[in-house]
Amino acid sequence: MSFSLDVRRIRSEEYATVGALVRAAYENEYVLESDYLDEIEDVAGRDSVSQVLVAEENGRILGSVTIPNVGERLLSNSAPDEMDVRLLGVSGEARGKGVGEALMRHVVRVARDRGSRRLVLHTGDQMVKAHRLYERLGFQQIPEREFTIETISGTRRIISYGLEVAR
């Protein structure tokens, strides 16, 4: 990474900016239903029930990710000793520069600090670039947690990944 990032909790005045950034990150890469894109863009709603984090450089927000509040879960199939993560998104200008990796490494540290055994996530089968990032960081697929959903582009497989983080 050729720049210095600050990863921190989002501020309310940044909700619209981050919502647009994350929506564009998903909308420009994948074929997704409009309801899901609206959910992705609803950063204010998400931050009211979880923690939205941003990666910032010199006042510019370059990416975002969502983690649960302490003691809570985002995914219905995560175990009590796991922490889950959702909606990693990086701006088009910052893609390939280590922003996603920096956000995920931060989330790994949070999971470890919270005493979680494993960090888990779901990702769509078409999100190949994200899969490469997760695998590079040591995540492994959890096949027994995978499932399919029906979308406007047909049946999609949702892949589950996990990373052991216990000390």
Question: 113-166, pLDDT tens digit by residue?
Answer: 999 999 999 998 888 888 999 999 999 999 999 888 887 777 888 899 999 997
Confidence of residue 29 (pLDDT cuts 50, 70, 90): confident
How far from 18 is each of 11, 22, 31, 59, 146, CA to CA, in Å?
10, 6, 20, 13, 28
- How many residues would you count in the chain? 167
What's the angle, vertex CA 55, arms to CA 30 and CA 48, rounded to 5?
Answer: 80
Rounded CA separation 153/157 (Å): 12
Tell me the C-alpha distance between 157 and 27, whole Å: 18
Separation of alpha carbons 154 and 26, rounded Å: 17
CA separation for the pair 131, 58 (Å, rounded): 29
| Domains with residue ranges and CATH for the chain | 6-164 (3.40.630.30)
**Is 29 strand, coil or helix?**
coil
Predicted TM-score of the model (pTM): 0.92
pLDDT score of 1 more than 60: no
Q: How confident is the model at residue 167 (pLDDT cuts 50, 70, 90)?
A: low
What is the mean predicted confidence (pLDDT) over 54-76? 94
Q: Write the DSSP symbol of residue 167.
A: -
pLDDT of residue 79: 87
pLDDT tens-digit series, residues 76-122 = 888 889 999 999 999 988 988 899 999 999 999 999 999 999 999 99
